[in-house]
A and B are shown apart, each in its own frame.
Chain A
Amino acid sequence: MDTIQAYSLMCMIRLFEEAIERLFLEGRIMGTAHTCIGQEAVAVGTAAALETRDAMTTTHRGHGHFLARGADPKRVMAELFGRETGYSRGRGGSQMMMDPSIGFFGANGITGGSIPFATGVALDAKLRDTGRVTVCFFGDGASNQGVFHETLNLAALWKLPVLFVVENNGYAMSTPTARGLANPHIADRASAYGITGVSVDGNDFFAVRDCVAQHAAVCRAGQGPVLLECVTYRLSGHSRGDPRVYRSREEEAAAWENDPILRLETRLKADGTLTDATAKTLREKAQACVDDAIRFAESSPLPDPASLQEDLFA
């Protein structure tokens, strides 16, 4: 993935998420969703550093990760619309989508629930010696779950090729990191398990990409897991309809100055990789892709309730 592709992908994820927020307001999609506006550099930076054989698990805030990994936006959108053509045929919704054929193993909507799951994918890689690295995304809030600690210990003990990527986006729902974590430096937790812990600017596409590449190589070399903390900020609300009463508009305005897309764009323009005109064209293409996805989803058939009868068991 070159930087122009990365830029396009980050724009597409942003526009996808903005569309989701709009579609909720318009009552065209139901349920809930958690958008990753402001965190696109983590998703795309990580995906840019991975190989085809690698794997990824996500969280409730997972559209960006999935799209960055190569999901078809049409099928993600169709899942949100509850259509047969969605990744989980409308059964999963926003938080439950998976496509192992592109090394994407999804999430399940339980905060922290994917942490051992990802580690099991890594155990498989070790047992079959496939050289696969599994990236396990989770949030600052999830790092307070007991299973995070259980799993880091186990993964370190067995030297499993799993890269734990915690997106410290400042909040777990309404709880600021400083009020949820006795030590808000999540990377420090690595030392408790004798593994490397690194913190990186999660709004810097290049920093994330290079850091993931460097530490994925460590995992791949059989030296065990690494805990990578990407410090970022959730510019969107927690989920649909979040009035964001727990933080000020001033704080948000300052955070928008640090928008990862803006930062990448500025940098690419400064080094001559991107012009205003190409940036505009790329954004329009990304918007067209999202619009297509919505059209595809809305024109897809509803799932057939009768199909549930046969599918409880494999």
Chain B
Amino acid sequence: MRSVTFTQLIRETLAAELRRDPSVFLMGEDIGVYGGSFGVTRGLIDEFGPERIRDTPISEQALTGVAIGAAVAGQRPVIEIMFMDFITLAVDQLVNMAAKLHPIYGRPCPLVIRTPPGGGRGYGATHSQSLERLFAGVPGIKIAAPSNATDASALLQTAIRDNNPVLFLEHKLLYPQRFDVEDDLPTPLPFGFARVAREGEDLTIVAWSHQAFIAERAAAQLAAEGIDAEVIDLRTLCPLDIDTLAESARRTGRVMILEEGPKTGGFAAEIAAQIMEHAHEYLEKPVRRIAGADFPIPSAKNLEAACLPAYDDILALAREWMG
């Protein structure tokens, strides 16, 4: 075992994939010598050179479209969108081209889009959003949202080897976190299998990405109070492991879903609906969402905190249910 940051393990995983398969290459803004805005690709250019760690102009739509074309022609591009907010400029290429390649044209499109969503750093309304909801309703795009380094590495390997477009979320608050991991990289993890991060009988907390990281801590605190919470970390939103969710919902009868993005129109709503379809007769309590405010994320620390889902709300809801 060793202790590494999320960033470090992603970087090692990218390096391993670049070594393994010559058709893998990275592309993005300032990912070369600079190493990317969050330093994830730092140093990779020294081993792999500027052809495979390819800096692009600030042209998200073009670089995404170019990656899609290269993917269809036989490459395995891994692109970085510096902040998830900037993916809006690439939406056309992802939604109208990448997502259609296999279902409509019958062509594989092995493409990974790595991008950091999330607030908590005071970056303001256009550098803090969690926009996975924009893609969750677009058939043809897979979405991975790991909450820890080992899962991130295992899912990233799968994403790079997958023959479909994969949106890969690296929450910016996870980057500096340290995790205990095996000395070797984990083996690739198939998509569509949630992780039961903590088993529990009283209630179920469903989350992904950084919220799953938070949920584990909340569950530990609740345990100290005698509340036995199950934590389900989705790991991938598409495909969604509804079996694991429904099984847990049937067993505990109480489900809360955490989502960092705004409550309205979010992916938590989709999960809630699916749980109703699969397990409503077992529910003791209505499914509840703890989510971000329906407001652009402000910059000031206290205002930002007011717009992100509150840790204390998780505890409060659990106590209300079990009190």
**What are the interface flags for A105-143 relative to B under an 8 Å C-beta threshold, 1 for contact and 0 otherwise?**
110111001011111111111011000000000000000
Question: Which residue of the partner chain B has the closest CB to A311?
Answer: B103
Are A116 and B62 in contact (CB-based, < 8 A)?
A: yes
Are A147 and B73 in contact (CB-based, < 8 A)?
A: no
On chain A, the number of residues with a Cβ less than 8 Å from chain B's Cβ atoms is 41
Known contacts: A113-B92, A121-B70. The answer to whether A88 contacts B59 by CB under 8 A is no
Question: Which residue of the partner chain B has the closest CB to A99?
Answer: B105
Residues of A contacting B104 with CB < 8 Å?
88, 91-92, 96
Are B51 and A127 in contact (CB-based, < 8 A)?
A: yes
Residues of B contacting A118 with CB < 8 Å?
69
B-binding segment of A41-49, A148-156, A199-207: A148-156
Q: Which of B64, B105, B140, B163 is in CB contact (< 8 Å) with A92?
A: B105
Q: How far is the CB of A170 from chain B (nearest CB, A)?
A: 26
Q: Check if B53 is an interface residue, CB within 8 A of chain A.
A: no
Question: Which residue of the partner chain B has the closest CB to A107?
Answer: B97
Q: How far is the CA of A137 from the CA of B92 in the complex (A)?
A: 19
Are A96 and B100 in contact (CB-based, < 8 A)?
A: yes
Q: How far is the CB of A175 from chain B (nearest CB, A)?
A: 21
| Beta-carbon contacts under 8 Å, A69-122 to B | 88-89, 91-92, 96-98, 100, 105-106, 108-110, 113, 115-122
Are B97 and A119 in contact (CB-based, < 8 A)?
A: no
On chain B, the number of residues with a Cβ less than 8 Å from chain A's Cβ atoms is 38
Q: How far is the CA of A147 from the CA of B93 in the complex (A)?
A: 10
Q: How far is the CB of B208 from chain A (nearest CB, A)?
A: 20
Are A106 and B64 in contact (CB-based, < 8 A)?
A: no
Are A120 and B65 in contact (CB-based, < 8 A)?
A: yes
Q: Which of A100, A113, A157, A312 is in CB contact (< 8 Å) with B65?
A: A113
Residues of B contacting A246 with CB < 8 Å?
none
Q: How far is the CB of A53 from chain B (nearest CB, A)?
A: 12
Residues of B contacting A91 with CB < 8 Å?
103-105
**What are the interface flags for A51-67 relative to B under an 8 Å C-beta threshold, 1 for contact and 0 otherwise?**
00001010000000000
Residues of B contacting A89 with CB < 8 Å?
106
Q: Which of B56, B65, B75 is in CB contact (< 8 Å) with A117?
A: B65
Q: How far is the CA of A308 from the CA of B71 in the complex (A)?
A: 23
Q: How far is the CA of A184 from the CA of B56 in the complex (A)?
A: 29
- B interface residues (Cβ-Cβ under 8 A, vs A): 25, 51, 56-57, 59, 61-75, 92-93, 96-97, 100, 102-109, 139-140, 142, 163-164
Known pairs A120-B71, A124-B69. 10 more at Cβ < 8 A?
A: A57-B69, A96-B104, A116-B62, A116-B69, A121-B73, A147-B92, A311-B103, A312-B139, A312-B140, A313-B140
